[in-house]
Amino acid sequence: MGRLFGTDGVRGVANADLTAEMALGLSVAAAHVLAAKGETSGRRPLAVVGRDPRASGEFLEAAVVAGLASAGVDVLRVGVLPTPAVAHLTGALDADFGVMLSASHNPMPDNGIKIFARGGHKLADGLEDRIEAAYLEHASGQPWDRPVGAGVGRVREYGEGFDRYVAHLVSALPNGLGGLKVVIDAAHGAASRVAPEAFARAGAEVVTIGAEPDGLNINDGYGSTHLDALRAAVPAHGAALGIAVDGDADRCLAADAAGAEVDGDQILAVLGLAMRDAGTLRRDTVVTTVMSNLGFTLAMEREGLRLRQTAVGDRYVLEEMRRGGYALGGEQSGHVIVLDHATTGDGTLTGLLLAARVAATGRPLADLAGVMERLPQVLINVRDVDKSRVTDSRELAEAIAEAERQLGDTGRVLLRPSGTEPLVRVMVEAADPAEARTVAAGLADVVKSALG
């Protein structure tokens, strides 16, 4: 059996890979590890539980809540809210941990369980390992120590979470948005109410698309992984910019007034310079991953900013930020972390800060994002291969070495197994788009033959 926890919690097809029984067992295991006796200051342990609007989230949430309460944990159910809202409320309410039911940008049949430690921080690998070990020990027949009578946990709805989180988002802006017209694409997901409300309270004129979740349409043609609707809507409505979040709203991409995409690297560049000018970019450093475009690196160096690079995954970005005391980090995919205001990536917050920079400078988003020039980058997802053998294949290693020799100093190659999906990602970056496509296609063929 492989490791249950991927780069962002436990994820799989709901009711097939991720069952109600697993959700219940994992929640009990999390309670035993994260709310152990003596770690809760003499009170009963407390957990915050939220979900995105997927239909499967209804029964998975019920299983998680049942497991936590059966383990003696009090539960605050915050309902459908973004992942960063659950992280924020976990810290703000001094809960022992938080649980979010979501598969983020994945298609509707998938779902996942994300667990936040005290303070709203993502779990360290060691804690995930302890929770997984406790879960597997119970699955093999070891009974849980279960409270009875008044010892069982109590469950309460916490509807105040919506307003408390929106107020937190708006408080991050030193000034309002001054009537700036913004299109918001909520991916029919967890931010369908939050994002429009936050932008409106911040003073924007809001146009909303992709904000009618029915449990089945999350990420379907809308959101940060499907930008066509946003790119068409922004110029059609004469908006200054558009913001697209994903299903659980922990990431954000944008579109400028002409409908051109503004990716996570460009957003980081805009916010990095804004924070430098405001004196809040600690050590004048931005933390990124190895997937960041070379054009971003060159632009930040030209502006006098320093970069720290990590492995792919916002958890690794966050670990480096906390280790080095940095204020800003993120990924090209739109996970942007602003540690002064959030403990994890927050798409709505990112969008608000981006819009605030446009409003404060009076400059179009295209002009601001133009600080960097994206070098052509080709990404191919190779499915139906054994992603665990990426580092073991000699044939693949030789193909990568040949590709790097061919590109020389004008480009780079990155191959990595996805942490959340059953596939291998092939990324090639080069000054010549045709060369990038050719090299990427050749490497993808080798991945299929070597790992298929």
**Furthest CA-CA distance within the chain:** 70
Residues 64, 106, 334, 6, Cα dihedral to 10° = 60
Q: Are 306 and 285 contacting, i.e. CB atoms less than 8 angstroms apart? A: yes
- 145 assigned binding-site residue: no
Q: Give exposure, 143-173, as e/b (b: 16+ Cβ within 10 Å).
A: ebeeeeeeebbeeeebeebbebbbebbbebb
Task: Give DSSP secondary structure letters for 300-357.
Answer: HHHTT-EEEEE-SSHHHHHHHHHHHT-SEEE-TTS-EEETTT-SS--HHHHHHHHHHH
Of 271, 100, 63, which is closest to residue 189 (Cα–Cα)? 100
Residue 393's SS3 state is coil
CA distance 265 to 283: 19
Query: 143 and 61 in contact (C-beta within 8 Å)?
Result: no
Would you say 220 is a known binding-site residue?
Answer: no
**Positive or negative torsion for Cα 65, 66, 69, 73:** negative
| Calpha distance 84→451 (Å, rounded) | 36
212 vs 444: CA distance, rounded Å: 37
Structure tokens of 346?
A: 């927050």
**52 labeled part of a ligand binding site:** no
Q: Which of 104, 192, 224, 292 is catalytic?
A: 104
Query: In 10 A of CB 384, how many CB atoms?
Result: 10
Alpha-carbon span 319 to 38, nearest angstrom: 27
User: Is residue 104 among the annotated active site residues?
Assistant: yes
Distance CA 96, CA 386 (A): 37
- To the question of whether residue 104 is assigned a binding role by annotation, the answer is yes
Determine the straight-line distance between the first and last CA of the chain, rounded to whole angstroms: 20
- Residues 223 and 252: beta-carbon distance below 8 Å: no
- Catalytic positions, written as ranges: 104
Q: Which residues are annotated as a binding site for Mg(2+)?
A: 104, 246, 248, 250
Q: Which residues are annotated as a binding site?
A: 104, 246, 248, 250
